[in-house]
Structure 1
Amino acid sequence: MLSPSGRDRGPAAGAISARTPVFRSAAMSSNPVLYAAAVLIWGSTWYAIEFQLGVVDPAVSVTYRFALAGSLMLGWLAVTRQRLLPPRAGWPAILVTGVFTFSLNYLLIYKATGLLPSGLVAVAGSTLSLMNVLNSRIFLGQPMRPAVLLGGLMGVGGVLLLFSPEIERHGWVGGTLLGLGLVFLGNYCASLGNMAVSKARRAQVPLVAATAWGMLGGAALTALTAVVRGVPFDFDPSLPYVLSLLYLALFGSVAAFLSYFTLLGRIGADRAGYTAVMTPILALVISTLFEDYQWNLSAALGLMLAVGGNILVMAPGSLRLKPPMAAGKAAAGEAG
């Protein structure tokens, strides 16, 4: 039998499993750490993407990022003598994750970041929490709380208010509207990938191997789109590009995604999506400090609405990172 980490477990090893109270308690106590890691890293990656734009086409940069991240993860599995290939049943979910999360999502987000301040891209990205809840209902059969609709409307309204300075400056046409649309479409692609990850985690598919192959698959698809478009595979040797690429690959891809996908398996896509509440706040702070994002009253109200809407979407029943007691047994079987 395979453990969530992909190691073969014998009878003795099975004495401490994800279903034992000791293991469950240790796993749940690490959830805040995983949550904080995802928020802090992803809150800063929006700005790091800015240094990937310019000399190298976004499709090529995305290819470099996930090819490097996926290769590093497979290398770590090889060094630690863990299983490199997930079970056959896990490959459909890995394929979906590669296409939607690690290819289409990031192609759209990189393009949007070239049109908008990174903080605004992050705030618009907070609608992922609502999309996760809606898609969890459609694809996973999870109940949708009435507060979701109100919270979703608040969140979308807040995003539009935050975009008001850009809209006033450029109007409802051109880069601002296109950038907003690209972010929303990218978010939905990411949410579809999240549904595939949730199903894979429920089926005990090894997390690291599945994520690594998903990244490599996404990199391959993105590279193919670059070849079809006739884009040259340039490389920018400048220090900002190289450092941002390493940061995005090592931290923004390996560390953050493993943290987030582990939360998906433990507490579900809806509660894991609560990271979308805090990430845009950090991203906007960075954008204000380094990109000279200009605040006004409508933008401040927009941030309050966006965050409040996300809290309302994610919070009914509990704001805790631990799942409710009724779901504890199921979550324990997915811990890892």
Structure 2
Amino acid sequence: MMSTPSPASPAPSRRPGLLAAGAATVTVVLWASAFVAIRSAGESYSPGALALGRLLSGVLALGVFCLLRREGLPPRAAWPGIAVSGLLWFGFYMVALNWGEQLVDAGTAALVVNVGPILIALLGARLLGDPLPPRLLAGLAVSFAGAVTVGLSMSGGGGASLLGVVLCLLAAVGYAAGVVAQKPALGRASALQVTTFGCLIGAVVCLPFAGQLVREAAEAPVSATVNMVYLGLFPTALAFTTWAYALARTTAGRMGATTYAVPALVVLMSWLVLGEVPGPLTLAGGALCLAGVAVSRSRRRTTPVASGEAPGARRRNADRV
């Protein structure tokens, strides 16, 4: 006679989801803090030098962790995705974003770069076969409206550089393509492997800026260098690893939508750390960003499964969520 499962049996199945949600939360908090650190370090370091210094700090920390965990090389099948993500996301994206943010105000940069999550959802659907459920699309729309509101409220009145806007848009494209390329690699290698070697490839791509980094590090104040190292250790090494862990357990589109919490957190951190009091329009935009994330991450309730329903039907119901 078959035994009846105990009431506590569903608990272990919820644990991976909770861990993934926690990892995604760590990522967005640290990525939000990066904007404050970049503002300080960017005053003393050029875009390429800042990207290289950040990536070298991240590679060092990730390499030590890999040795402690005895992580080997990723499987051969994972290398194409690692290489593309390392080139486009860790390398090209960081340089383009650092450069673009020096030519446009923070609000314009945030507005343009936040096209990225929408591109991730579209590319994920096209290249990975990810679903585009109505809740995800609605959440993306609400969050993007919030990002636009935050961007407009923070934009200066002097106009934006066309080159700066183009660089921020290219950064968004590189970010989206890198995420979509990274997703299949996570099915073949661990999150730590994918992050470590992607970061290493990005650092190699940025090696032409090594001379600038050495010269600028000799003249930069200690605070700027500390912020650069912080960017490498936390928003890069830790946050990209927690991102990869969460991305391996959900769709690219849903993870991309989660990053719309970053503009709201940037507003809060700028208020607490820099004393920049946000206006009503900025606060409203931040609230819209968070509301959109909540909608995109929500799941449709399923009806209770009848006792005679086949397991395959139960899986099909779950797949619709």
**TM-score when normalising by structure 1:** 0.75
Which is greater in Rg? 2
1:90 equivalent in alignment to 2:73: no
1:221 equivalent in alignment to 2:205: yes
Which structure 2 segments of 5+ residues have no match? Answer: 1-8, 302-313
Q: CA deviation at 1:140?
A: 0.3
RMSD between superposed Cα atoms in Å: 3.3
Q: CA deviation at 1:37?
A: 1.1
Partners of 1:317 and 1:114 lie apart in 2 by 43
Per-residue CA shift, 1:133-167, capped at 9, x if unaligned?
11110110112234555554544444343333455
Per-residue CA shift, 1:29-82, capped at 9, x if unaligned?
322321221122111111101122133221112112112212322232224433
Could you tell me whether the CA contact under 8 Å between 1:70 and 1:211 is conserved in 2?
A: no
Could you tell me whether the CA contact under 8 Å between 1:129 and 1:313 is conserved in 2?
A: no
1:197 equivalent in alignment to 2:182: yes
Distance verdict in 2 for CA 1:223–1:243, change over 3 Å: same
Give the match for residue 278 of structure 1: 261
Aligned length in residues: 297
Q: CA deviation at 1:193?
A: 1.1
Q: CA deviation at 1:188?
A: 2.2
Question: How do residues 21-40 of structure 1 correspond to structure 2 at under 5 angstroms?
Answer: 25-40=14-29
1:55 equivalent in alignment to 2:44: yes
Distance verdict in 2 for CA 1:28–1:294, change over 3 Å: closer
Give the match for residue 68 of structure 1: 57
- Select between 295-304 and 243-252 the one with higher mean Cα deviation: 295-304
Partners of 1:270 and 1:212 lie apart in 2 by 23
Question: How do residues 130-279 of structure 1 correspond to structure 2 at under 5 angstroms?
Answer: 130-146=118-134, 151-165=139-153, 169-171=157-159, 174-175=160-161, 178-202=163-187, 204-224=188-208, 226=209, 231=212, 233-234=214-215, 235=217, 236-279=219-262
Could you tell me whether the CA contact under 8 Å between 2:107 and 2:152 is conserved in 1?
A: no
Give the alignment partner of residue 99 of structure 1, picking from 87, 93, 96: 87
Q: CA deviation at 1:104?
A: 1.1
**Sequence identity percentage:** 22
* SS of corresponding position for 2:300: coil
Q: CA deviation at 1:192?
A: 1.1
Could you tell me whether the CA contact under 8 Å between 2:81 and 2:182 is conserved in 1?
A: yes
Distance verdict in 2 for CA 1:158–1:180, change over 3 Å: farther
